[in-house]
Structure 1
Amino acid sequence: MTFPILEGKSAIVTGAAMGMGEATAKLFAEAGARVLVADMNEERGKAVADEITASGGTAVFHQVNIADSAQVKAMVQAAVDAFGRLDVAVNNAALTPDDNLTSEIDEDYWDRLMSVDLKGTALCLKWELQQLVRQGDGGSIVNISSVSGFRPQPKNPAYVAAKHGVNGLTKTAALENGEHAIRVNAVAPGAIDTPMLRGALEQTGQSEAEFAPALSLLGRFGQPREVAQASLWLASDQSSYVTGSVIHVDAGYTSR
């Protein structure tokens, strides 16, 4: 059972067509929020919005490339047009990690990943913060980081650098916006059972039973909804004295 702790709130969730973003959009709707399902994937994004509506929630889809400032501005405006205001945002959209040694960086993919995972998150913050400041009554933003923002992984130089940057953006935005009663936090997931992770397992020929113990003290992968629960708490008034923080949802991976 999900309590209606976001009742009456308007939320944006980026990267909401699948995985953690989809789980977050659906959980927020269960908790009473009106949700803008934002993603590049129009077909799947519309399906998620339709599933929320069919379950009794309120959601609309908006197609966006978060690497484009004008599109991000339009995304925020779409939420305001649909719901009257913005209260909460979860900046989840990201590209698949790179797979090159630092000495062999794929410069084209580096630029592409940085434009989404780091610049895209910054652009989301820019336009979301402007709307929240303009409204004048606070709000909550959650950025999705990664354990890679704390414990570097080999052959992921772009992704690791971007997620370190997301942590820095989170803390800077929190410092700047406390006076506006706007809280900015992040969630750092570990090994979460998403299509991205399953694809990596297929590439390496490993099973969850073989791979999970190296990444989790609980010996299993996390579920997207478990990450969404952390975002829900940070988005709600139940975390009203929390800002500038990063919550690790990683089954203890970064503790050892």
Structure 2
Amino acid sequence: MDHKGVALVTGAARGIGRAIALRLAEDGFDVTLNDLESSEEHLKTLAQEITQKGRRASVIYGDVSQETDVRSMVDSAVHKLGSLNVMVANAGISSQVTPIQDVKVEEWDRILGVNIRGVFFCYKYAAQQMIKQGRGGRIIGASSITGKQGEGQAAPYSASKFAVRGLTQSAAKDLGVHKITVNAYAPGATSTPMLDSVVENMDGGAAFREAWIKATPVGYIGMPSDIASIVSYIASKEAHFITGQTISVNGGMYFD
């Protein structure tokens, strides 16, 4: 398989991030994997899977909400694998199920710190590196179905995911002249450890899961590989004329 370049995937240890990293490796990218140091074993196992596919992998730990960590991630990808061609700002965290009147400012800051501040840092430092390389690139962020239709009892999370859409549109206009496209993906209910955690920690969680399934015309919750498939396309050369978009991958739960 031809070498397509180097991708950096944040939040790669589990769920959607893991699926994206594997798919990009299958597509021909070498991959730098990022997550918190507490995910060391998961990242090492993932790196081994990628090398077994015939691609190179590197691991760097860091917190996307910290600017110096994100700068180091980009530098590490370039130093170890030679360049940066695709940035996938996937890392994100879910908020507690809480009505707006009860949301604590600490919870607000925690969610937005990772879900939008972290994406901003990824976009910024990926853009700097790609401009320096002069060969264009693909920058991709994680929004959500709740970034297109606000969800009750999830104000911090919904706000952060709406913000990713605005950031993506703005960055696309800034970076198009450099042949860098900027897009985002907006998953619906997807079978991941994050979703399982939300369901387990809410009253009537099982009923909510069933309601999600019933609200989805295709009749089932998505898998991480379903999200990875759209990332694969918008990371490809064929997607050069798509930018500033946030693409829903939700089984038709909401139309937009």
- TM-score range with shorter-chain normalisation? over 0.9
Opposite residue 170 of structure 1, the aligned amino acid is T
Report the 3-state secondary structure (helix = DSSP H, G, I; strand = E; otherwise coil) of the residue aligned with 2:8: strand
Matched position secondary structure for 2:149: coil
Partner in structure 2 of residue 223 of structure 1? 223
Alpha-carbon deviation of 1:214? 3.7
Unaligned runs of 5+ in 1: none
For residues 28 and 202 of structure 1, the distance between their equivalents in structure 2, rounded to whole angstroms, comes to 31
- 1:25 maps to what in 2? 21
Q: Which residue of 1 aligns with 2:113?
A: 115
Q: In the alignment, what sits opposite 2:212? A: 212
Helix, strand or coil at the partner of 1:248:
strand
**CA–CA separation in structure 2 for the residues paired with 1:93 and 1:185:** 15
Quick one: percent identity of the two aligned structures?
A: 35
1:43 shift after superposition:
2.3
Deviation per CA, 1:223-246: give whole Å up to 9, x if none: 101100100100011111111111
Supply the distance in 1 between the matched residues of 2:166 and 2:254 (Cα, whole angstroms): 18
In structure 2, the residue matched to 1:239 is 239
Q: Normalising by the residue count of structure 1, what TM-score does the alignment of the two structures yield?
A: 0.94
- Which runs of structure 2 are paired with 1:10-21 in the superposition (5 Å)? 10-21=6-17
**Cα displacement string for residues 146-170 of structure 1 (whole angstroms, at most 9, x for unaligned residues):** 0101111111010011001000000
1:132 corresponds to which residue? 130
1:64 equivalent in structure 2: 62
CA distance in 2, matches of 1:29, 1:196: 23
Correspondences of 1:133-148 after superposition (within 5 Å) = 133-148=131-146
| Match in the other structure for 2:33 | 37
SS at match of 1:95: coil
Alignment correspondent of 1:159: 157
Residue type at the aligned position of 1:239: A
Give CA deviations for 1:161-183 in whole Å, capped at 9, x if unaligned.
Answer: 10010000000000001100000
Moved more, 195-204 or 171-180: 195-204
**Aligned-residue offset at 1:98:** 2.9
For residues 59 and 167 of structure 1, what CA distance do their matches in structure 2 show? 29
Equivalent pair of 2:139/2:182 in contact (CA under 8 Å) = yes
The Cα shift of 1:207 comes to 6.3
1:28 and 1:207 map into 2 onto residues whose CA distance is: 35
Amino acid at match of 1:86: L
Deviations 1:117-153 (A, max 9, x none): 0101001111100000111110001111001011111
Cα distance in 1 for residues equivalent to 2:246 and 2:106: 30
The 8 Å contact of residues 145 and 186 in structure 1, kept in 2 or not, is answered as yes
Secondary structure of the equivalent of 2:91?
A: coil
The alpha carbon displacement at 1:86 in A equals 0.6
Question: What CA distance in whole angstroms lies between the structure 2 residues aligned with 1:167 and 1:183?
Answer: 14
Q: Does 1:51 align with 2:49?
A: yes
Cα distance in 2 for partners of 1:219, 1:209 equals 12
SS of the equivalent of 2:141 reads strand
* Other structure's SS at 1:254 match: coil
SS in 1 for 2:186: strand
What is the CA–CA distance in structure 2 between the aligned matches of 1:8 and 1:237, rounded to whole Å? 9
How far apart are the structure 2 equivalents of 1:157 and 1:122?
Answer: 20
Of 166, 169, 173, the residue aligned with 2:171 is 173
Helix, strand or coil for the counterpart of 2:206?
Answer: coil
1:206-233, CA deviations, whole angstroms, 9 ceiling, x for partnerless residues? Answer: 1687233344111100010110010010
State the AA in 2 paired with 1:81: H
Counterpart of 1:16, as a letter, is: A
